[in-house]
Amino acid sequence: MAMEETAFEVSDILSGEAEDSATPVSQQLQPLSLATMSTQVYEIAQHYKLRECLGLGVGNGGYILTHCAAEHPGLFAGLILISPSSQPAGWWEWGMGRVALTTLRTWGWAATARDYFAKRLFSPATLQILGGDSDLVRAFHRDIQTLRPGAVAAYLSAVLYRPSLIPLIKKLKCRVLLIYGAEGLYENDCMEISNAINKTRFALLEVQHAGVLVNEERPTEMLSPLQLFLTALQLEGIGLGYAGEVGS
C-alpha cells in the first residue's frame, strides 16, 4: 500500500548552533536543557501547522521527541525511537562526560572528546574492527569535527543533567516502535521504557552487536520492523490525508 507523496513533509531538526552555518542559541534558552529542546520541537510544528507527525529520534533525540509527544499527545501519529535515553546519566556517562565537556570547552575536538562520543554511540565490536579504523568509525571522527565544540558542549551538558523520562511515558498516545542496540549505552533505559509504556500500540526490537547508532551499525536489521510499523499506521489512516485529529 503506497502512501500519497502529497501527504508528507520531511523536517530535520538539529540541535541549535552545532553546525557552522547555524545561528547562536537565544540567551532565553540558556542554559540548554532537553525539556527546552522538546518545547522548540513543538513550536516548530506549530509554526508549520504540522499534524500527524512521525518522529524519528536516536539516543537523546529520542528522549526529546518522546518528551514532546507525551506533553502534546495530539501532535504525533507515531514515534520511531532508536536506543533512546530515559533515565538520568549513569556513572560512566556522567564522569567521562564531565571530562569531555572540559576538553571541548578548552581544547575543542581533541582525541579525548572524540573517543568519548565514539564510545557513547558505537558498540565495542564496531570500535574494534580494524583496530578502530573502519570506514564507519573514521567517517564519524571526521564528521564530528565539523560541529562547533562550544555548541556540542552545551548540548552534552543538557544531556548529562537530564531527569528521568519515565513519569511521562504513560502519557504517550501514539504508536511507538523502539529499536535498541544490545551493546548500547541506553539498553537499560530502553527496558525501563518497555516496562512503563502501554503495550497496546508498542513494538520492541533488540539488535545484537550494535550500540546506540543501530541505524548506522545494523541498518538492514531495521527494514522489516519499519515496514510493518508504517503499514500499521497506514491501516489507521495515517499518511493518507485523513482529516481527523490525531489523539482526539
Say if residue 80 is in the same domain as residue 96: no
Residue 113, C-alpha cell as written in the block: 572528546
Could you say which of 157, 179, 205 is where a domain stops? Answer: 157
Say if residue 102 is in the same domain as residue 225: no
Could you say which of 157, 179, 197 is where a domain stops? Answer: 157
Say if residue 69 is in the same domain as residue 170: yes
Q: What is the DSSP string of 28-87?
A: GGPSP-HHHHHHHHHHHHHHTT--SEEEEEETHHHHHHHHHHHH-TTTEEEEEEES---S
Cβ within 8 Å of residue 88, ≥6 positions away = 162, 163, 164
Say if residue 110 is in the same domain as residue 144: yes
Say if residue 184 is in the same domain as residue 131: no
Summarised one tens digit per residue, pLDDT across range 228-243 is 999 999 998 886 544 4
Of the chain, the end-to-end C-alpha distance in Å amounts to 25
DSSP 8-state class, residue 102: H
Over 90: is that where the pLDDT of 109 sits? yes
Say if residue 82 is in the same domain as residue 103: no
Predicted confidence at residue 130, as pLDDT, reads 74
Say if residue 174 is in the same domain as residue 71: yes
Does the residue 108 lie in any domain? yes
Average pLDDT of the chain is: 89
Does the residue 22 lie in any domain? no
Predicted confidence at residue 7, as pLDDT, reads 52
Predicted confidence at residue 119, as pLDDT, reads 97
Residue 138, domain extent: 91-157
Say if residue 75 is in the same domain as residue 130: no
Over 60: is that where the pLDDT of 60 sits? yes
Does the residue 238 lie in any domain? no
Does the residue 148 lie in any domain? yes
Domain count, the chain: 2
Predicted confidence at residue 138, as pLDDT, reads 94
Predicted confidence at residue 30, as pLDDT, reads 64
Does the residue 138 lie in any domain? yes
Say if residue 140 is in the same domain as residue 98: yes
Angstrom CA distances, 152 to 118, 140, 228, stand at: 14, 15, 35
Say if residue 186 is in the same domain as residue 80: yes
Angstrom CA distances, 127 to 13, 59, 102, 211, 215, stand at: 28, 18, 24, 10, 16
We report the CATH number of the domain holding residue 206 as 3.40.50.1820
Angstrom CA distances, 174 to 75, 144, 194, 210, stand at: 9, 33, 15, 26
Say if residue 179 is in the same domain as residue 225: yes
Predicted confidence at residue 10, as pLDDT, reads 59
Residue 242: Cβ within 10 Å count:
15
SS3 (DSSP) at 20: coil
DSSP 8-state class, residue 181: E
Predicted confidence at residue 8, as pLDDT, reads 52
Does the residue 229 lie in any domain? yes
Could you say which of 101, 132, 157 is where a domain stops? Answer: 157
**Which residues are registered as beta bridge partners of 178?**
81, 204
The answer, as to whether pTM is greater than 0.75, is yes
Summarised one tens digit per residue, pLDDT across range 183-213 is 999 999 999 999 999 999 999 999 999 999 9
Predicted confidence at residue 248, as pLDDT, reads 41
Does the residue 214 lie in any domain? yes
Does the residue 44 lie in any domain? no
Confidence class for position 155, pLDDT limits 50, 70, 90: very high
* Contact by Cβ (8 Å): 44, 36: no
Say if residue 224 is in the same domain as residue 118: no
CA atoms within 13 A on the CB side of 111: 0
Helical packing angle, 34-47 and 60-71, nearest 10° = 60
